[in-house]
Amino acid sequence: MAATFKGGFHIRDRKELTNEKQTVRLPDCDMHIYPMRQHIGAPLKALVSVGDKVKVGQKIADSGEFVSAPVHSSVSGTVTDIKPYFHDSGSMVEAIFVENDKEYTVSDDVCPKDYKSMNHDELLSVIREAGIVGMGGAGFPTHVKLSPKQKVDYIIVNGAECEPYITSDHRYMLENADDIIYGLKVAMKVLDLKDGYIGVELNKRNGIEAVKASKEYGENIHIIELKTKYPQGAEKQLIKAITGRNVPAGGLPADAGAVVINVATAVAIANAFKTGLPAIEKNVTVSGDAVKNPSVFRVRTGVPVSFLIEQAGGFANAPEKIISGGPMMGISQYNIDYPVTKTTSSVLTITKAEKTYDPDAPCIRCGRCVDHCPMRLMPMKLVQASKKDDVDMAQKYNVLECIECGLCSYICPANKNLLQFIRMIKPEVMKKVREEKNNGK
């Protein structure tokens, strides 16, 4: 029996568009753009100025704070501009423009490191200096994740990849299985754990085989087969499936004794030690029915998405929607000029945008949202609260536990887009909680 959690729903995954195809390396791109916000945490300051020469792997932005991660140049060349530019979050973010000299001269700081001879603090420092963040999309600095306040029992590599269309992690498993396990072993050493876990959804059987066939694989590496079900890759659901533990409300995975890192993150960690290169490369799935040739690309960060779409054969049809990330949790974009960052896992192009909200259809109380909510909430009650602007009711129904997976909206036969209403009331509840906390002090 494949491990899983209660709730969730199998969504047609459409991964067949790209999962059989070898990862494609991109040709040279003239201009690379590096937004100075590719992580969650303290803002960065540019370490270079216009006119400076930079090399591959050179740090170009950093902050003195612990909860932050530096940004590196993925090419060698000249800094031509530093100005606000498009970012897939939708807002304009200060970005460093580097003109690619196509030499790919590697920075002198880049050198292989032997993780086995390093101590805990040295390991964390390498991971931080490599700018590694949650590459699945969250962007939380990995060295912070690997420094939990309490002792943990599990380190889990998240290979669920439950979002439809995306096959970036799947291709990593097939092509970089050694790196995944290598990265996991580094994380195990940091956390002082003997065993490591990799959770993979069963729609990637050949991925599981590839990881098991890796020369790094051993009996202390446990590959857990997960039921193919959305949102199996959500952190809390993954921990539940593998350890049986529930992360408490408002708590972190470490409160349940677990740390989860993404497959792409594990690969980035492996690179930081094996070659010394920081997080400047990653798999990006370009898929959907609007591009001619959906593919997974191995991308140097900073490449504009328009370049990726060109490489995927350009548009077969005019897209109605461009999404950064998966179709369930991704962010719709208003242009294709934004650059690939460390957290970009996919670009989806959709010819005919599906109708995701019907203002007229009434809720028929079918209870599907309650049945399938992975957080065991009652989404339709949260919508009621949101419509009435009733903060207390939303709080009573645990609105802050919502992980915004979007399953309730997806599954609603009346097409109510429940998540949108939940998002509207959530900040108000947060505000109330914060005020209560402040008054208590």
Partner 1 sequence: MENNLIMSSSPHIHTNSTTQKIMLDVIIALLPAAVAGGLLFGIYSTIVLASAVISAVLAEWIFEKLLKKRNTTGDLSAVVTGLLLGLNMPPRIPIWMVCVGSAFAIVIVKQMFGGLGKNFVNPALAARCFMLIAWTGAMTSFQTPFDAVTTATPLAIMKSGAEGTMPSLMQCFVGMKAGTIGETSAIALIIGFIYLLARRVVSIKIPLAYIASFAALTFLFGKDAFDAQYLAYQLLTGGLLLGAFFMATDYTTTPTTHLGMIIFGIGCGVLTFLIRRFGGYPEGVSFSILLMNLAAPLIERYTVPKSFGNRGGARK
Residues 85-144 that bind partner 1 (CB under 8 A): none
Our CB check for partner 1 shows the closer of 113 and 423 to be 423
- Footprint of partner 1 on 231-270 (CB under 8 A): 236, 240, 244-251, 255-257
Strands 31-35 and 92-100: antiparallel
Task: Assess 411 for contact with partner 1 (CB under 8 A).
Answer: yes
Of these, 117, 360, 436, 438, which contacts partner 1 (CB under 8 A)?
360
Q: How far is CA 225 from the centre of its chain?
A: 20
In the three-class reduction of DSSP (H, G, I as helix; E, B as strand; rest coil), residue 259 is classed as strand
**278-292 as b/e, with b when 16 or more CB fall inside 10 Å?**
bbbbbbbbbbbebbe
Task: Assess 432 for contact with partner 1 (CB under 8 A).
Answer: no
Binding mask 196-235 vs partner 1 (x if CB under 8 A, - otherwise)?
----------------------------------------
Task: Assess 365 for contact with partner 1 (CB under 8 A).
Answer: yes
Q: Which residues pair with 201 in a beta bridge?
A: 226
Our CB check for partner 1 shows the closer of 82 and 411 to be 411
- Residue 356 and residue 420: Cα distance in Å, rounded? 10
- Shortest Å, Cβ 246 to partner 1: 5
Of these, 129, 216, 401, 428, which contacts partner 1 (CB under 8 A)?
401
Of these, 111, 367, 392, 434, which contacts partner 1 (CB under 8 A)?
367
In the three-class reduction of DSSP (H, G, I as helix; E, B as strand; rest coil), residue 85 is classed as strand
Phi, psi at residue 308, to the nearest 5°?
Answer: -60, -40
* 3-state SS track over 6-71: CCCECCCCCHHHCCCCCCEECCCCCEEEEECCCCCCCCCEECCCCCCEECECCEEEECCCCCCCCE
Task: Assess 404 for contact with partner 1 (CB under 8 A).
Answer: yes
Residues in the interface with partner 1 (CB under 8 A) total: 73
- Shortest Å, Cβ 159 to partner 1: 22
- Shortest Å, Cβ 354 to partner 1: 5
The single-letter DSSP state of residue 63 is -
Task: Assess 427 for contact with partner 1 (CB under 8 A).
Answer: no
Segment near partner 1 (CB under 8 A); pick from 93-101, 196-204, 314-322, 385-393 = 314-322
Between CA 393 and CA 403, with CA 399 as vertex, the angle to 5 degrees is 170
